[in-house]
Structure 1
Amino acid sequence: MNPSQSVRRTERSRPRPLQIAAWLAFAAAAQSAFAQSATTGTAAASSSASGTEQSLPAVKVSATSSDDTPLHLTTPVSSGALGTRSQLETPFSTTVVTGEDLANRQANKLGDVFAGDASVTDNSNAYSAWATYITIRGLPIDWQNGFKIDGNPFISYGITMPYENLERVELLKGAGGFMYGFAQPGGVVNYVTKKPGKDPVTSFDIGYRMDGVLSQHADLSRRFGPDGMFGARINYSHEAGKTYNAGDINRNSVALALDGQLTRDLDVYFNAIYQTSRSSGQTPAIYVSPTYVGTSLPATISGGSNLLNSAGQHLNTNLQLYTAGVKYQIAPDWTFNTSASYSKSARDRNESTLTLANQAGDYTDSRWNGDEGHQDIYWQGTFEGKVKTGPFTHQLVFGASVQHQTNDYSTAAGTAGGTLGAGNLYVQNPYFFYSGSGLDKYRASEINQKALFLSDTMQITSRWSLLAGLRYTNYDQESFAESGATTAAYGKNGVVTPTFALMYKLDPLTTVYASYVESLEAGQVVSDIYANGGSVLNPLRSRQYEVGIKSEHERWSANAALFRIERGASYANSQNVLLQDGDSIYEGVEAGGSVRLGRSWQVGGDIMLLDTWYAKGQTYNGKRVAGAPQFTAAARVSYDVPFVPGLQLGADAKYTGNTAVRPAGDLEAGGYMLVNLGANYMTRIGGHDVTLRAAIDNLTNRRYWMFQYDSYIAPGDPRTVSLNAKIDF
């Protein structure tokens, strides 16, 4: 960035009207294009075109119907303090990826799950501690507070979920402070596990992934007892073998879901997840330090290379989650839900950090070894129902939650493998450092949150509705030394995070909305790689403004959103001190849609334009925010082969624009495009349904650098072939 550019950006601290007008015009054009490219043939669309206020007819749409579009806008999603509502009724940008989508995509990390969403950028490799690292609208997701399982919190760091065991994955983009409490404003990911349904399920599948990983998965579901009042579902998955970078993986996971419909109004449930994973051959973290010499990054390498792997590196993890709850129908329009969960995750990690010195790829290899553990105890109770005040109907949700989180880390004596020596990215790493597990741990930090929340969605007319919500939180955070002494503490009662939204129904399946939400994120514990390592920064407040539209019809669906997010900025300065300074601003537009053409073709696309800059600070004012690409686009097409019933062919591509690696804006990870192919074939063999799947990721074997997080990069995954065969009994 030249100096004149920096001055121009420093002078602006609010959205530019012409730019916003152009973005709105683009979003409207995208919506209109999808509307004109397919014939809906519905009376509702005609009445909407008349422009008069009319009573909207009741519409019932099944999220599992055969004509459900890839955006799944009518699928129910969990929205925390907003209760459960469909994407169409949620005044924020959301994405849902179903279990069938996951199976067809043969997802292997979180970036794969959201490969079709232009707002989501993949930030890491599979089979590593960073496999859940993504950025949403250029913002990182909070690994401590940004991940849920069935709405319950757990620590996701190092944990790759068994996607085979999931019903769907939900993504709430942007600030979720009102819905879920303290969290970074990137978004919230909610994994929804498979539950017992009305119909029995017995299925088994086996899979293969390059270079030699074999997997097996079994899914069994039954109802039993008088009138099927009890239900049970168990999913088991296992994978083991040689990974694409000459490492090894051995993972076992089991998920159990039990429910009981004890009376017409009273349901109880219990869910459990247990997973262990052991892997070796980790791709090291690659750190671009402030002393790096050069104006560009070194030449790219393949994520499939084992040149960076050195003996002893491994990642062993364990995840346990237990949830119990009660649902009671108090009255026809009122329900009470309460649940409690306990999650425990642990990591035994031996990992190198390669500190890059220059463009030639020279580095210093430092090995880190340690055991880490986390616990999360959570309770929530909510009332949800409807009341009328005069001509208005109110959809109310109110309740309370309590969360206690602890983080345990290894003692200093067990954490450092030290500096192993110098090396080069293009030469085999010769170093080794072996370590055992079971290191002594100490309580490093505790976080407590107690919250009350209330939301009211008021139906003003048949088309207009107004949402207002408020979360009131008491928050405490403490950090401790190995001796047990308190090293830092922050506590504040009465933290208020509000949300407001205005929604308008163009027709029964089209919602236009404008929303505002605030969020507060926990103070960051500074890593030891910084000069002020061990200190705790203050919590940061974020504000989000969003205007959007969502529409789902029989043959097409589309959505678009214009957003602005203001977040307190934190970054390392030239003295390698991590500090908070000014704000980081994110302005952008995202738009996407899908349309069925004829009987055989389904075409979809997604795009995001993003403008970011640091503002009101002392150091990087006007610079692009690290980790935020300016442009991303995704496209997909599928074809149902008419002369081979049951065969579907598909292709998708995603382009990610160049991304600033450091807040200084002096280094960029270049843009890249990935192309993937897939095929699914459904048939019957021996009276049983059989599904065969094949996928090729990164068809062209493109080499590229991914932004991982501030001042860290990672090599992109290589071309990978995946096969799977499933049989339903």
Structure 2
Amino acid sequence: MTAGTALSLAAPHIAFAADEASSAESTGAASLPTVTVTGAEDNKQHLNTRSASGALGTRSLLDTPFSITSVSADDLAERQINKLGDVFALDASVSDNSGGYGAWAAYLTVRGLPLDWQNAFRIDGKPFLSYAITLPYDHFERIDLLKGSSGFMYGFGSPGGLVNYVTKKPTDTPVRSVTVGYTSNNIWSEHVDLGGRFGNDQMFGYRLNATHAQGETFNDGKIRRDSVSLALDARLTRDLTWDFQSIWQNSNSDDQPTSVYTASLTGSQLPSVIGGGNQTLIGRGQHINTNFQLYSTGLTYRLNEDWKANVNYSHSTSKRNRNEGTLYLQNSAGDYNDFRSDSREGHVFDQWQAMLEGKARTGFIEHQLTFGAAWQKQVNDYSISSFYQQIGTGNIYSQNTNSYTSSTDLIPYHNGIITQQALFASDTLKFSERWSLLGGLRYTNFDQKGFSTTGAQTSQYKKDGVVTPTVALMYKPEPNTTVYTSYVESLEQGGTPGTTNSNYGQMLNPLTSKQYEFGVKSEQALWSTTAALFRIERAAEYTNGSGALVQDGESIYQGLELGGTLKLGNQWQTGANLMLLDSKYSKGTTNNGNRVAGAPNFMATAQLAYLVPQVNGLKLMADAKYTGNTMLRAANDIKLPAYTLVNLGASYSTRIGNYDTTFRAAVDNVFDKRYWQYQYENYIKPGDPRTFSLSAKIDF
């Protein structure tokens, strides 16, 4: 992590440069508000940078009444990111439930709520299904996290938040770089980044990224990933721009760590933790193979100085073929029953969206207006003859000797089709330089259908006219500070019970939620700070005593987020971030008053960066994250202990010959801390062991 990158994340929103914001605006790319990350010599976060902000239109981060974290490409490279949980490791509101090489790639908890794996992930604002997909992080300009409800801005989704990957776009300045990397135990990677413009008046732009990674993971599993992304644009006229983005990735992973399922555990005592790099849990034959593709294109037309229109289409597919073990823990001695799942699954998203945004004035009131319409179709495929059975027994402290060979007769069928049609509009009324009021409304028709293996429709949830509003009042006591209070409602798809649930595959009805937030954002010459008080009320969903995933009562999350950065002299920069959270179940038939499963009551991070004056170009970094104790399930009979992870990093920039060259090193989990990592209700796995990463980048 760069000196500024690592630490400015503590404020939970940091950004990228203004020229990138202009590029995003010109192509009409839907994204979360953006931020600029700089080195320790420049503590500013550039919160006045303007960028596209989904259904809210174009606005600065300082004028956006929600909590947002943004992680830049520089930070991703400096910290040698390998999984989604590491992307947001410096945000105290985010719990890491992910795994870098298995099916749990996209699991995160934000403010105590799990992200919705069907709706909580976007690429340039376009929907895709991220289950089991670890994307090529070096292909993105930044990764944004909108914390809290995204119902108005992006439609259906969990109130935990939404992750938006912003792809690298063509730049006016040519880009030429090659990076070679190494990650323990023995994974080698190569990345090429090429971009620029050509043609009359530099009419056409391109950006090509390609990555290959292959080798042995820390638990002696095997991984091979190949990915390519291509972004194009054309300035057809002075006012009309065409853009195109695509990503293709194929990943093959063998012998990866299994998850431990605790619903059948006798008593409430977990076994002693084993090391995350231990091979004993792995039974032979396990693998997960995925293929991901996304293609999107759009036109942006600038009507005049104040108004522009955009229309775009996207298509994404996610396919996975997995032979995955789940260990049903029986007792505190570590005995288990070994269940193996063998299936093929796939998901397709298609979306059309049109948006008009601009400025107007009525009397003394200025208006920032956004109008839009969207259509989205999601198709979920599951295999007809999937296998899920016990294949043996074992103990977590002894080598797993069970094996299962995948079937070749796994034919997928359309299990569910979900269609959404939406209209949305927002108006930000500016009464003076200090006061403004935001109002927004999304109107959605929702249709969810389930099908049997024969193609017969088995269920339907249809609701027209679903309204998800948002309203916010903002006050600026001075130009670089905003105080805001906001309210937003959201509707999310109900959960799909997993293979360990007694009602496996039966889609549940959508859930409703409400969110209240009061916050402050301020950026000054030598320091910055953010604070947010929030309350989220959501319909509760959990696994009951009979093993069924049910909806019962509601879950409430109340919390405080604080963050800040401070520049100390020319070499030092520090930062810290914390979250206090009170969560509970209420209004249900059981578990009332219990803490919500997966919601830590306290989390904190601290970061330090130092520019070494004696060695020009050398930066040293350190950070730590404390994750408080977490309830494993709604009954609150098993508590996962708190743990702290410490990471170190360094980067050295120099010139070799005529080429700018950067060397980077990172050590995650320096003290090789052993801990049970919460993944999902009743699911745990050993936390990742100490890992080393090295890379060298040459710009030419």
TM-score of Structure 1 vs Structure 2, range by shorter chain: over 0.9
**Do structure 1's residue 101 and structure 2's residue 72 form an aligned pair?**
no
Is the partner of 1:638 in helix, strand or coil?
strand
User: Could you say if the C-alpha distance between residues 62 and 355 of structure 1 is closer, same or farther in structure 2, counting changes exceeding 3 Å?
Assistant: closer
- 2:559 is aligned to 588
Question: Match for residue 317 of structure 1?
Answer: 290
What corresponds to 1:216 in structure 2? 190
Does the alignment pair 1:381 with 2:354?
yes
Matches of 1:613 and 1:64, distance apart in 2: 37
Partner SS state of residue 622, structure 1:
coil
Please give the alpha-carbon distance, in whole angstroms, between the structure 1 residues aligned to 2:42 and 2:438: 27
Give the structure 1 partner of residue 227 of structure 2: 253
One-letter code aligned to 1:659: T
CA contact (8 A) 2:44 2:526 kept: no
> Could you tell me which amino acid in structure 2 is paired with residue 102 of structure 1?
L
> Does the 8 A contact of 2:316 with 2:350 survive in 1?
yes
**Matching residue of 1:3:** none
| Match 1:535 to one of 506, 526, 532 | 506
1:549 to 499, 507, 520: 520
Q: TM-score, normalised by structure 1?
A: 0.90
Matched, 1:497 2:471: no
The within-5 A match list for 1:111-510 is 111-289=85-263, 291-411=264-384, 413=385, 415-436=386-407, 439-510=410-481
**Equivalent residue number for residue 18 of structure 2:** none
SS across alignment from 1:88: coil
Q: In 2, Cα distance between the equivalents of 1:676 and 1:162?
A: 22
Aligned AA (1:520): L
Distance 1:190 1:438, change over 3 A: farther
Q: For 2:569, which of 593, 598, 602 is the aligned residue?
A: 598
CA distance in 1, matches of 2:120, 2:350: 15
Can you give the 5+ residue segments of structure 2 that lack an aligned partner in the other structure?
1-7, 12-33
Q: Note closer, same or farther for the CA distance 1:720–1:138 as it changes in structure 2 (3 Å cut).
A: same
Shift of 1:539: 1.0
Q: Is the 8 A contact 1:125 1:716 kept in 2?
A: no
**What corresponds to 2:595 in structure 1?**
624
1:76, distance to aligned residue in structure 2 (A): 4.7
Post-superposition Cα deviations, 1:410-449, rounded to whole Å, max 9, x if no partner, equal: 01x2x11521111111111001111155721110000000
Q: Quick one: distance in 2 between partners of 1:118 and 1:81?
A: 27
Amino acid in structure 2 at the alignment position of 1:374: H
Whole-angstrom CA distance in 2 between matches of 1:476 and 1:113: 34
Partner of 2:265: helix, strand, or coil?
Answer: strand
Q: Tell me the amino acid that sits aligned with residue 626 of structure 1.
A: A
Separation of aligned partners in 2, 1:726 and 1:139: 37
Q: Which letter does structure 2 place at the counterpart of 1:63?
A: T
Q: Which amino acid aligns with 1:243?
A: T
Mapped contact 1:220–1:234 kept (Cα < 8 A):
yes
The answer to whether the Cα contact below 8 Å between 2:35 and 2:46 also exists between their aligned partners in 1 is no
Q: Is the 8 A contact 1:71 1:594 kept in 2?
A: no
Q: CA deviation at 1:715?
A: 1.0
Deviates more, 1:653-662 or 1:533-542: 533-542
Alpha-carbon distance in structure 1 between the residues aligned to 2:104 and 2:408: 20
Q: 2 CA distance for matches of 1:606 and 1:532?
A: 40
Give the total of aligned pairs. 669
The answer to whether the Cα contact below 8 Å between 1:210 and 1:721 also exists between their aligned partners in 2 is: yes
Q: Kindly state the Cα deviation for residue 85 of structure 1 after the two structures are TM-superposed.
A: 2.5
| SS at structure 2 position matched to 1:626 | coil
Change in CA separation of 1:438 and 1:177 when aligned onto 2, cut-off 3 Å: farther
Equivalent position of 1:45 in the other structure:
none
Change (3 A) 1:578 1:71: farther
Rounded Cα–Cα distance in structure 1 between residues aligned with 2:611 and 2:151: 42
With over 3 angstroms needed to count, the CA separation of the structure-2 counterparts of 1:594 and 1:437, relative to structure 1, is farther
Aligned equivalents of 2:38, 2:52: Cα separation in 1 = 20
Q: 1:132, 1:469 → 2: CA distance?
A: 29
Report the counterpart of residue 17 of structure 1 in structure 2: none
Question: Residue in 1 aligned with 2:31?
Answer: none
In 2: Cα distance, 1:194 partner to 1:570 partner:
37
- Once the two structures are superposed, what CA deviation does each residue of 1:668-700 show, in whole Å capped at 9, x if it has no partner? 111000000000000000011000000000000
Q: 1:685 aligns with which of 639, 656, 661?
A: 656
1:566 aligned onto 2:537? yes
* TM-score (norm. length: structure 2): 0.94
Contact kept? 1:63, 1:74, Cα under 8 Å: no
CA distance in 2, matches of 1:72, 1:583: 39
By how many angstroms is 1:534 displaced?
3.3
The Cα of 1:263 is off from its aligned counterpart by: 1.4
Q: Secondary structure at the match of 2:594?
A: coil
CA contact (8 A) 1:513 1:547 kept: yes
Task: Evaluate the alpha carbon distance shift between residue 359 and residue 456 of structure 1 in structure 2; reply closer, same or farther with a 3 A threshold.
Answer: same
The offset of 1:68, in angstroms, is 5.6
Aligned CA distance change for structure 1 residues 347 and 283 (closer, same or farther; 3 Å): same
One-letter amino acid of the counterpart of residue 572, structure 2: W
Alpha-carbon offset, residue 301 of structure 1: 1.3
Distance 1:278 1:62 in 2: 34
Q: Partners in 2 of 1:576 and 1:307 — Cα distance?
A: 27
Q: 1:522 Cα shift?
A: 1.0
Offset at residue 88 of structure 1 (A)? 1.4
Instruction: Look up the SS of the partner of 1:293 in the other structure.
Output: coil
How far apart are the structure 2 equivalents of 1:249 and 1:517? Answer: 42
Instruction: State the one-letter code of the partner of 2:444.
Output: T
SS at match of 1:252: strand
Structure 2 distance, partners of 1:717, 1:65, is: 30
Letter in 2 for 1:597: L
CA distance in structure 2 between the partners assigned to 1:450 and 1:68 by the alignment: 45
**Per-residue deviation, 1:197:** 1.0
Report the equivalent of 2:29.
none
Where does residue 677 of structure 2 map in the other structure? Answer: 706
Hey, what's the Cα distance between the residues in 1 that align with 2:638 and 2:608?
35
Mapping of 1:39-58 within 5 angstroms? none
What's the offset of the Cα at 1:246? 0.7
SS at match of 1:517: strand
Does 1:516 find its partner at 2:487? yes
Q: For 2:675 and 2:128, locate their aligned partners in 1 and report how far apart those are by CA, in whole Å.
A: 32
Percent identical among aligned pairs is: 56
Superposed CA deviations along residues 178-204 of structure 1, whole A, max 9, x for unmatched, are: 111111111000000100111001000
Contact 2:422 2:442 in 1 (8 A): yes
In 1: Cα distance, 2:453 partner to 2:535 partner: 42
How far off its partner does 1:576 sit? 1.7
Deviations 1:105-139 (CA, angstroms, capped at 9, x unpaired): 11101110001000000013211111221100010
| In 1, Cα distance between equivalents of 2:347 and 2:105 | 18
For residues 577-604 of structure 1, give each alpha carbon's deviation from its aligned partner in whole angstroms, at most 9, with x where no partner exists.
2211111000000011111110000101
Gaps of 5+ in 1: 1-30, 35-60
Counterpart contact for 2:540–2:555, Cα < 8 Å:
yes
CA gap 1:135/1:652 in 2 versus in 1, 3 angstroms = same
Deviation for aligned residue 1:71: 5.7
